[in-house]
Amino acid sequence: MPHILDLDLDFFVGLLLTIVSMVALDESEYRRVTHAEVETFLEDRCGLSKTKQLPGHFCTGHEDAFDTWADWIDKKIIESRFCIAPVGAR
């Protein structure tokens, strides 16, 4: 069964938030990771590679991911049964 990596970019904010504390924070209250840290995570923890690229799509909202997956299923890029791969906390 194919796996889909659905990675929310705010995963790379250094402060973990809980549902209770999801409010707008001042940038002094958290640390953004560097470009190099993101690259290292994607390559080392997710198995992605610049030299062996996989199909992908950048979305700005969660609903866009569902639309993309439906389009890929229609185009036979992925099967209608797939697994969304969980990514553990840093």
pLDDT digits (tens, 9 = 90+) for 32-41: 778 888 888 8
Say which DSSP state 32 is in.
B
**Strands 3-5 and 83-85, bridge-based pairing:** parallel
Q: In the predicted model, is pLDDT for residue 64 greater than 90?
A: no
Percent of the chain with pLDDT over 70: 64
Q: In the predicted model, is pLDDT for residue 56 greater than 80?
A: yes
Q: Give residue 51's pLDDT.
A: 93
State phi, psi for 25 to the nearest 5 degrees: -105, 150
